[in-house]
A and B are shown apart, each in its own frame.
Chain A
Amino acid sequence: MSVLNAVPATASVTARNGSATWRLIKAESKLSIRDKVGPLWGVGCPLIVLIILGVVPALREPVEAAGGLTYFDLYVPVLILFNLAILAMTALPTTLAGYRENGVLRRLQTTPIGPARVLTAQLVANFAIALVATILFLAVAGLGFGVDLPRHPVGFVLSWLLASAALLSIGLLITALAPGRGPATAIGTVLFFPMMFFAGLWVPIAQMPEVLQTISHYTPLGAGMQAFQETYLGHFPSAAPLLTLAAYAIGCTIVAVRWFRWE
């Protein structure tokens, strides 16, 4: 075959693989929504909490040492992290470990697409759901309860992207190391509660004892919360939380890729 003939063939292969990946992403998004874990626990639950907390007048008091933000103001980013954590650490590993356990990955291995692409599709699907949820939470908090948007939007977007990357890579790591679907769900759930504690779900970080505050800053959700809080106050987030998030994202991805079990 001449070089001239080979070019369109390669191009069509690329286009086809592109469309297959796109179809896979659409299918995985549909499946994530049908699966209900993400939409119900990851989106519905924090949204309802947001609305309930929004109507409690006591939460409109400013939090000491939080730069003038009220309890409710702080709950908006906490619940955004809640959403990310559920999608990335519970929904994602449960689905992917289930795929491995049930032979879904194995079947894909017999097709030209291969199993790695379904991982990508799941990551993209959960990322997209998280993106929609974050916009929804910001809109409900803003339009419904008068919470201003973060005053440093670029910093906020960057923090959000880094937090998503960190959490999704933790989810991937859980998937890689958990022996099956059951253990994957268990690990994700067990990690979820302490991590949410350090994000300030129950007690704002600013009111924690100093030791816990320090620990918090090195947890992914604590670092994410710290970065978010700074952007709400109008600053570009400081290096420490951003680097912490990036370190989680890179470290967990490397370990997950290195030790991922396909069967």
Chain B
Amino acid sequence: MPAVIEVRNLHKRYADKVAVEDVSLTVQEGEIFGILGPNGAGKTTSVECIAGLRTPDRGEIEVLGLDPRRDRAELTRGLGVQLQAGQLPEQLRVAEALELYSSFYPDPADWRELLEGLGLAEKAKTAYGKLSGGQKQRLSIALALVGSPRVAILDELTTGLDPQARRDTWELIENVRSRGVTIVLVTHFMEEAERLCDRLALIDGGRVVAVDTPAGLTERARIEQRIRFRPSRPLADHLLTSLPEVSGVTRRGETVIVTGNDNALNAVTTVLARNQIVAERLRIEQASLEEAFVQLTGSRLGSH
């Protein structure tokens, strides 16, 4: 598939600090590409450079074959952007905003359909200033999509939405993608990245740490499995620690917690069976994307 966004060695510093140290990434046509990282990692600055809102100090960017700074006017027709800080006049009503913005584009989407799809139909006559945070967010997504863009950049898509609205929005994004729109999703929300993104770039400290599928990232982090159970009879630690697949055994009350590689579970159950011990309340904890993130970047994401 052809690349719709190419970023090479992007570097951007502000007066007091370097926001983006060295970011390179390629987004393929039709994919949902996630940019994941803690607050202040340089995600927003990177996408603002991609959208042509900021001039990079160094590096090359190409979006839909265009230079975001030089070919701004042309780029805006094919690129929809939803920014964290980007509002509307307080008194402008929802339907008015969508109708107005759709008139800016050569081949706009049906804004009434977007209104429905984002659950804003009842709010069509409500002024922007009277909307809740979540409703503003949904309108902002609608405005990013109203020009029927080939590429949409969505920054912190579901921040401020309640769980139901969040799931509805995810569904909408999947629908938009199924129509062939390439989506760049900036997020610090793991569940969102895992659910929506085909590929992810982990960004930390202004650098790309890794680019892979969500599953690939988890695998790459080589996080050990954790097996928890309560043995039906007392169990000597050495039975488990002597297994090559097991790297550690700890106890919390009556519960035994075993850490080890992918084959640890097999090894542990075999030993238990041989000793006629039943593993009660057996639980296996899989590595999550979040743990992979911590492992790969050495830092934690902000609370969410």
Contact = CB atoms under 8 A, between A and B. Distances in A.
Interface of A: 12-13, 16, 19-20, 23-24, 27, 30-31, 34-35, 95, 98-99, 102-104, 106-107, 109-114
A205 B34 CA distance: 67
A118 to B, nearest CB: 9
B81 A104 contact: no
B86 A112 contact: no
B143 interface: yes
B87 A110 contact: no
A12 B91 CA distance: 31
Contacts, number: 66
Nearest to B81: A110
Interface stretch (B95-103, B200-208, B219-227): B95-103
Interface string B81-117: 1010111110110001001110111100000000000
Interface of B: 51, 53, 73, 76-77, 79-81, 83, 85-89, 91-92, 96, 99-101, 103-106, 143, 147
Contact of A107 (B77, B79, B88): B88
Listed from nearest, the 10 A-B pairs whose CB atoms lie closest are: A107-B86, A110-B81, A34-B91, A103-B86, A102-B87, A113-B104, A112-B76, A103-B85, A111-B104, A103-B87
B101 A111 contact: yes
A102 B143 CA distance: 16
Given A34-B91, A104-B88, A112-B77, A20 B103 contact: yes
Given A31-B92, A112-B77, A104 B87 contact: yes
Contacts of B100: 23-24, 27
A103 B77 contact: no
Given A106-B85, A106-B86, A114-B73, 8 more contacts: A13-B106, A23-B103, A30-B96, A103-B87, A110-B51, A110-B81, A111-B76, A112-B104
Given A16-B106, A19-B103, A35-B91, A110 B53 contact: yes
Nearest to A23: B103
A27 B86 contact: no
A106 B91 contact: no
Contacts of B85: 103, 106
